[in-house]
Amino acid sequence: MTPDFSFHSPEQKIRHPLYTQKGIEVCFKRDDMIHPFISGNKWRKLKYNLIKATEENKKHIVTFGGAWSNHILATSCAGATFGYSTEAFIRGEEVENPILTMCKLFGMQLHFVSREAYQHKKELFTTSIHRDHAYFIDEGGYGIEAVRGCKEIITELSTPYQHIFCAAGTGTTAAGLALALAENELNSQLHVVPVLKGGDFMAEEMKKLRAPLQQTILHTDYHFGGYAKTTPELIAFVKDFVAQTGVMVEPIYTGKALFALHHLIEQNTFQVGERILFIHTGGLTGLLGMLDKFN
């Protein structure tokens, strides 16, 4: 059976006083609504990997990630949904948390490995339980199949936008967006917000995935200290945005990209009447690891 990935996420106009004041329109591509566990861009990235696994007659998925990985959770649920067994190598010491508990509920086998061992993913893969019919998916779903899935964020759109915003971790989603814009001759400006420190490397990552960068601007000043780091200013922004709009975001990815968008709007970067699309890449279960920050 080929997995059914036919769901299209809605484009939704968001009401916020800042947008009204500046005379711009902001829509969200609600990839967070695709699925509660196979969330956002992780669904996009899994799609062509799972289709390929089926074509190669492989029924066992092996993947990699940190203990709070949205990708690990997505893979465990996709496996249970579409009939694959799943196994994951988790970086670092054995821990328990709500994400890993849900992964186990979805039937995923977990192995905790040292940071040194984790560097050698191909070697770990050869030790997996069903290695002769196992399919390898890299950390975060990274790779060319994932890029192909992310292109569909663009090809699904009902109307063109002058500007498109997304958060970036590995740059796979951004690469898919950049490729799809170029291939479909859409002249939107792509604004990519790395959530890690030193985000200039994102341009190299996107190039490795064969993305053209003519339409891309990197906004590297919105990492708030690094991956999964936050500041009181970022937390206050997230609280305020969620309460004003009814759209949930989290501070690891979408909160940072949205902060960048709002900061640029405040600086009058966009002209009156311009239309902006924000890709809501999902990942709301990340909030479960940050509850203490919101109290």
Ligand X SMILES: *Cc1c(COP(=O)(O)O)cnc(C)c1O
**Minimum CB–partner distance for residue 167 and ligand X (Å):** 4
CA atoms within 13 A on the CB side of 43: 25
**Minimum CB–partner distance for residue 1 and ligand X (Å):** 27
* Cβ closest to ligand X, residue 79 vs residue 283: 283
**Minimum CB–partner distance for residue 159 and ligand X (Å):** 23
Whose structure tokens read 């069903």? 130
* Cβ closest to ligand X, residue 173 vs residue 220: 173
Q: Is 282 in the site for ligand X (CB under 6 A)?
A: yes
Helices (H), the chain: 17-22, 41-55, 70-82, 98-105, 115-118, 121-126, 144-155, 172-183, 201-208, 232-245, 254-266
Contact in structure between 84 and 78 (CB atoms under 8 Å)? yes
End-to-end CA distance of the chain: 46
Instruction: State which of residues 26, 29, 34, 41 lies at the interface with ligand X (CB under 6 A).
Output: 41
* Cβ closest to ligand X, residue 195 vs residue 265: 195
* Cβ closest to ligand X, residue 70 vs residue 188: 70
Q: Is 283 in the site for ligand X (CB under 6 A)?
A: yes
| CA nearest to 60, candidates 41, 74, 76 | 76
Tokens, residue 15: 């009401």
Q: Is 254 in the site for ligand X (CB under 6 A)?
A: yes
Q: Is 285 in the site for ligand X (CB under 6 A)?
A: no
Helices (H), 94-157: 98-105, 115-118, 121-126, 144-155
Binding mask 155-174 for ligand X (x = CB under 6 A): ------------xxxxxxxx
Contact in structure between 86 and 63 (CB atoms under 8 Å)? yes
SS (H, E, C) 162-191: CEEEEEECCCHHHHHHHHHHHHCCCCCEEE
**Minimum CB–partner distance for residue 174 and ligand X (Å):** 6
**Minimum CB–partner distance for residue 131 and ligand X (Å):** 26
- Site size for ligand X (CB under 6 A): 18
**Minimum CB–partner distance for residue 253 and ligand X (Å):** 3
| CA nearest to 32, candidates 259, 279, 287 | 279
The dihedral built from the CA positions of residue 171, 172, 173 and 177, taken in this order, carries a sign that is: positive
Q: Is 230 in the site for ligand X (CB under 6 A)?
A: no
Query: What pairs with residue 280 in β-bridges?
Result: 30
**Minimum CB–partner distance for residue 255 and ligand X (Å):** 10
* Cβ closest to ligand X, residue 44 vs residue 58: 44
Q: Is 253 in the site for ligand X (CB under 6 A)?
A: yes
Query: What pairs with residue 112 in β-bridges?
Result: 90
> What is the chain's percent helix, strand, coil content, to nearest 5?
45, 15, 40
Instruction: State which of residues 65, 140, 199, 255 lies at the interface with ligand X (CB under 6 A).
Output: 140
**Minimum CB–partner distance for residue 205 and ligand X (Å):** 8
Q: Is 79 in the site for ligand X (CB under 6 A)?
A: no
Binding mask 21-40 for ligand X (x = CB under 6 A): -------------------x
Residues that bind ligand X (CB under 6 A): 40-42, 70, 140, 167-174, 253-254, 281-283
